[in-house]
Amino acid sequence: MRISINRHADTPVYLQIKNQVRDMIFSDVLPEGMLLPPERSLAKDLEVNRSTVIRAYQELKADGLVGSQVGKGTVVLHQTVKKSSLAEGYINPLPWYQLFAETVTSSNDNIIGDIMAITGSDNVISFAGGIPAPSLYPIEIMREIQSELFETANRELFLHSPVEGHYPLRESISYLLRQRQIVAAPKDTVILSGSQQGLDFMARVFIRPGDTVIVEEPTFFGAIQIFRSAGARVIGAPIDKEGLRTDVLEALLVRHKPKFIYTLPTFQNPSGVTMSLERRYQLLNLAYQYQLPILEDDPYGELYYESTPIPPLKALDRHGYVIYLSTFSKSLFLGLRVGWVTAAPQVLAKFAQLKQMTDLHVNTPAQLLLDAFIRKGCYERHVAVLRQEYAARRDKMLRALEKYKVPGISWDKPEGGYYIWCKLPDNILRHKLVANASKRGVVFLPGEAFYPDGTQGDTHVRLNYTFASPEQIETGIKYLLQAVRETTITAGNHENERNLKPLV
C-alpha cells in the first residue's frame, strides 16, 4: 500500500492517509476483503505517530469503507460505488450562464461595489461615497453601551429578534419620527437591513416584469438598478430647484400608469435639492387622484444645516399613500446595516413576510445597541454634532470650489445632506476626467450614473463632503478642478484637442 505524506500541506496527516486509502478502495487498488496493514507497521513505514494511523482507520470505518474482523484486522468492505465510476470519462463543466434566470441583470457597472472598494484605500481623496465621517463616530459611547448591554441584556444580545424588529427599537424609532413630524406607532414600522433592503422589498412586493416605476431624474443609482433588475421600466421625471416637476409628472402618470413613484424629497441624492412644500402637496394630490403609492426615501432629512426642513411627505399624507424609508447609515454607521420602513399595515405585512423568508430578522446586537443609544439621548446629541461638522465641511467645499473655480462650472448650495451636484463645462472630455482626476488621487461619481438612461447628466459630478477631512476637501477640490481644466477643450488647449481625435 503506497501512501505519500506531505508534511507541509494544510491537510492534516491522518486525513491524507484516509483520503488516499479511500481513493484506492474506490479505484479497486484495494479490493473488497483486502487486509489493510496493521496500524503499528503502517505508522512505522510512514514515520508517523501510531495515533495518526488509528485516527485515519477510524474515519474509514465511520465512512463504511473498512471494517474490523476479529483475529484478522482491518478489512476493505464491499462498495457499490467505486471512485472509478465517479471519475470515468470527461465531466462537462456546468454551463452556469445558461442556467441563470434572466431577471438578475448581468450589468457590469457595479458602481456601489467600486465606490466601497476605492473608499477604503489610502492615498485617495474620496468624494465618491455616501459615508459618514469616521472621525466623528461616537466610539467611546458605543463602547460603554455595549459593555452595559453585556450586563443587562446578556444572552438576549445574541438571541433571535422578532421578524419585524426588536420592539423597543421600534418604539425608539417612533420617537425619532415624531421629531420629523411623523406620527407613527411602533407597530407601523418594520426594521430592515438598511433602507437598501426597503428598495429591494418594494421591487419584490410591487413590480411584475413590464411594470413602470417613476423616479426623479437624477436619482440614487441603487434604486434604478434594483427596480430594473425586478423587470421594471424605470422612467425619469425631471426636477428643478423646487424638486420634482409635478406638472411633467402628471403627463407621465397618464402615459405610463406607473406602479409607484420613488422620490428623495429632502436634500436629494445626488442633486441636494429639497422639494418645496407646495410641490409636496401637489405630489400628494396627484397620488390621491391617480391612486398611486409614493415611496419616500429619507436618509438625509435630519442632517439640515440651515433651518429645520419642510416636513416629509409621510407627515403631510393623511391617507397612508406614502411608504417611508429611512436609515441609521448616514447619521451613524453604514456598517451596522439598520434601516426601517414606516407604512400602511398591508404593506408592512408584505415586508415582514419577505423579511422572514429572505433573512429572518436584522442582526440583534445592532438593534439593541441603537435602541440604547437613542434612549440615552445620545442620538440627538450626535446628530447635532454632525449638523455642525458637516455644515463646516460643506462650506469648506463651497469655498474651495469658489477659490479654484474654472470657467463653465457651477453649483448650488445644498441646505443639508451629503452632496454638492456640480455642473462641469460643456466642452469637457468627460471620459478622460475620471482617469485624470484619479491619477491625482481624487475620486468622485460621474453624473450619468444617476440617470435611468445613462446618457444624460454627463456634465455633472456628485461631490460628497462628509467622508473626506476638511484638509482633504481643500486639496481634493484643487486637484479635481485642475483635472477639469486640463480635460476641457479650449482654443489654447492643444494637447487635448489632439487627444480627442481618436474618439471622433
Q: How far apart are CA 393 and CA 106, in angstroms?
A: 37
The dihedrals phi and psi of 444, each to the nearest 5 degrees, come to -155, 175
Taking the complex as a whole, the smallest distance from the CB of residue 35 to a copy of itself amounts, in Å, to 21
**Contact between 97 and a copy of itself per CB under 8 A:** yes
Q: Are 76 and 66 in contact (CB under 8 A)?
A: yes
> Smaller CB distance to a copy of itself: residue 213 or 481?
213
Shorter beta-carbon distance to a copy of itself: residue 211 or 217? 211
3-state SS, 119-162, equals HHCCCCEECCCCCCCHHHCCHHHHHHHHHHHHHHCHHHHCCCCC
Q: Under the criterion CB under 8 A, does residue 158 sit at the interface with a copy of itself?
A: yes
Q: For residues 359 and 453, which CB has a smaller minimum distance to a copy of itself in the complex?
A: 359
The one among 4, 7, 47, 102 contacting a copy of itself by CB under 8 A: 102
List binders of a copy of itself among 209-238 (CB under 8 A).
211, 222, 225-226, 229
Q: State the DSSP code for 70.
A: T
Q: How far is the CB of 80 from a copy of itself (least distance, A)?
A: 5
Q: How far apart are the C-alpha atoms of 254 and 249, rounded to whole Å?
A: 9
Enumerate residues 322-361 that contact a copy of itself by CB under 8 A.
Answer: 332-337, 344, 346-347, 350, 352-354, 356-361
Give the range of 127-135, 384-392, 398-406, 471-479 binding a copy of itself by CB under 8 A: 127-135
Cell of 61: 470505518
Q: How many residues bind a copy of itself (CB under 8 A)?
A: 123
Q: Is beta strand 322-327 parallel, antiparallel or unpaired with respect to 294-297?
A: parallel
Q: How far apart are CA 229 and CA 103, in angstroms?
A: 6
Q: Does 4 bind a copy of itself (CB under 8 A)?
A: no
Question: Is 61 an interacting residue with respect to a copy of itself (CB under 8 A)?
Answer: yes
Is residue 363 a contact residue for a copy of itself (CB under 8 A)? yes
Q: b vs e for 291-306, b when ≥16 Cβ sit within 10 Å of the residue's Cβ?
A: ebbbbbbbbbbbbbbe
Pick the binder of a copy of itself from 52, 193, 263, 269 (CB under 8 A): 193
**Is residue 277 a contact point for a copy of itself (CB under 8 A)?**
yes
Q: Which of 21, 11, 151 is nearest to 76 (CA)?
A: 21
Residues in 296-315 at the binding interface with a copy of itself, rule: CB under 8 A: 306-311
C-alpha to C-alpha distance for 173 and 410, rounded to whole angstroms: 38
In the set 4, 7, 93, 377, which binds a copy of itself (CB under 8 A)? 93
- φ/ψ of 30, rounded to 5, equals -110, 95
Q: Which residues between 391 and 450 bind a copy of itself (CB under 8 A)? A: none
Residue from 276, 331, 490, 493 that binds a copy of itself (CB under 8 A)? Answer: 276
Q: Would you say 365 and 387 are in contact if contact means Cβ atoms under 8 Å apart?
A: no
Contact call for residue 112 and a copy of itself (CB under 8 A): yes
**CB-nearer residue toward a copy of itself: 192 or 409:** 192
State which residue, 309 or 446, has the beta carbon closest to a copy of itself. Answer: 309
Closer of 192 and 264 to a copy of itself (Cβ): 192
319 scored as a contact of a copy of itself (CB under 8 A):
yes
Q: How many CB atoms lie within 10 A of CB 17?
A: 25
Binding to a copy of itself, residues 136-155 (CB under 8 A): 137, 139, 142-143, 146-147, 150, 154-155
381 binds a copy of itself (CB under 8 A): no
- Write down the H helix ranges in 291-439: 313-316, 345-358, 364-375, 378-404, 430-439
Beta strands in 290-347 (DSSP E): 294-297, 322-327, 339-342
